[in-house]
């Protein structure tokens, strides 16, 4: 089964978060992930609104979690910490 990596983000430091974004994309691709949505138009119907929303598809939940825990992604994440408020989840798809 595939998996979706779903992030809801409020960026508080554009420069530092830009460093995160530059490194995160290649780390996600290295682990079989591809972006389905990245900061596009959205309509918030319930819950807390975050101005940036990202969805990436992975081959499996395990691949998505492995990506998150990888040295490459953790290096990227070090730039996002303190530069954003985030929620991130991995959701198994029904395909």
CATH number of the domain encompassing residue 88: 3.30.70.100
Give the pLDDT band (50/70/90) at residue 95: confident
Terminal-residue alpha carbon distance, the chain = 6
The arrangement of strands across the sheet holding 84-92 comes to: 34-38, 52-58, 3-11, 84-92
Q: Taking the model in full, what pTM does it have?
A: 0.90
CA–CA distance, 67 with 24 (Å, rounded to integer)? 10
For 61-83, the pLDDT digits (tens) are 999 999 999 999 999 999 999 99
Q: What percent of the chain has pLDDT over 90?
A: 98
Asked if 6 and 88 count as a contact pair (C-beta separation under 8 A), the reply is yes
User: Considering its fold, how many domains does the chain have in total?
Assistant: 1
Q: What percent of the chain has pLDDT over 70?
A: 100
Structural domain including 59 reads 3-92
Mean pLDDT of the chain: 96
Q: Which residue has the tokens 């960026």?
A: 11
């Amino acid at each position: 089964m595939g998996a979706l990596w779903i992030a809801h983000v409020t960026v508080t430091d554009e420069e530092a978060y830009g460093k995160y974004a530059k490194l995160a994309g290649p780390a996600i691709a290295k682990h079989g992930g591809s972006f389905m949505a990245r900061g596009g138009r959205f309509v918030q119907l319930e819950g807390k609104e975050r101005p940036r929303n990202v969805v990436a598809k992975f081959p499996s939940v395990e691949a998505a979690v492995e990506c998150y825990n990888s040295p490459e992604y953790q290096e990227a994440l070090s730039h996002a910490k303190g530069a954003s408020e985030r929620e991130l989840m991995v959701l198994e798809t029904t395909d």
